[in-house]
Amino acid sequence: MIPSSFPTREEIARLSARMLLEIGAVNFRPEEPYILASGLPSPTYIDCRKLISYPRIRSTLMDFLTVTVMRDAGFEAFDNIAGGETAGIPFAALVAERMALPMSYVRKKPKGYGRNARIEGAMAPGQRVLLVEDLTTDGGSKLSFVDAIRETGASCGHTAVIFYYGIFPETEKTLGDHGIALHHLCTWWDVLAEARTSGVFPADTLHQVEGFLKDPRGWQEAHKPA
């Protein structure tokens, strides 16, 4: 069912951050940094996959994502909703259900047998496709998914995510240079503000996290594993 209510962007960001904190999807560990896929350290880690196990929160966030996309991109802007393998698949299905649109998904690489496809589901030339993912950091991983969609003859000029890091200034330029507009619900700054309000983390931890958010590359360089 297409949502009909439109909270303000600020309220969507605040409530989205609150829900991520409530289910323990937000992890802060400056004293023993996480190592990201890039090999770089980070005092923060977010696990949006946990959302699929919480029906009330999952449903609310998908309503938020749907109305955000429709408000920003248009009410009749898309013909197909595509999820990125793997984390984006359930969220794409939920958004597609709300928008009453077909759903497909994009593999990270061809499956290696059979049709050797990267696109699963029906996607036709000329369709306007929205790429849905759980999150984005610097935007780079989205480019391969978008290119695979465009190779079918469909167009893809928008991606929607629940969580956007919001700390790497190159992200929106990387996506914009590739012809992609980014839509999101909340960022690390929203989570930090809500974490301070809720008191779920010690003040010193939040102070160290804020230092990372202000200068992520500098923080990573200073905390590289020996």
Q: Is residue 104, in this structure, part of any structural domain at all? A: yes
> Is residue 132 assigned to a domain?
yes
Q: Is residue 99 part of a domain?
A: yes
Q: Name the domain count of the chain.
A: 1
Q: Which three-class secondary structure state does DSSP give residue 156?
A: strand
Q: What is the dihedral of CA 114, 118, 123, 125, to 10 degrees?
A: -100
State the residue range of the domain holding 23: 9-200
Q: Is residue 101 part of a domain?
A: yes
- The reply to whether 151 falls in a domain is yes
Per-residue pLDDT of the chain (226 residues; tens, 9 = 90+): 676 668 899 999 999 999 999 999 999 999 999 988 778 899 999 999 999 999 999 999 999 999 999 999 999 999 999 999 999 999 999 999 999 999 999 999 887 666 668 999 999 999 999 999 999 988 888 999 999 999 999 999 999 999 999 999 899 999 999 999 999 999 999 999 999 999 999 999 999 999 999 999 999 999 988 7
For residues 115 and 137, what is the distance between their CA atoms, to the nearest angstrom?
A: 31
213 falls within a domain:
no
* CATH value at residue 196: 3.40.50.2020
With the CA atoms of 192, 184, 92 and 53 taken in that order, what torsion angle do they form, in degrees rounded to the nearest 10?
20
Q: CA triplet 31, 54, 191: central angle to 5 degrees?
A: 40
**DSSP label at residue 7:** -
User: 108: Cβ–Cβ under 8 A, 6 or more apart, which residues?
Assistant: 84, 85, 144
Residue-level pLDDT at 1: 62
- The per-residue pLDDT for 111 is 72
* Domain assignment of residue 206, yes or no: no
Alpha-carbon distance of 122 to 11, in angstroms, equals 36
Contact 184, 16 (CB under 8 A): no
As a whole number of angstroms, the distance between CA 201 and CA 208 comes to 11
Residue 216 lies in a domain: no
Please tell me the predicted confidence (pLDDT) of residue 110.
Answer: 82
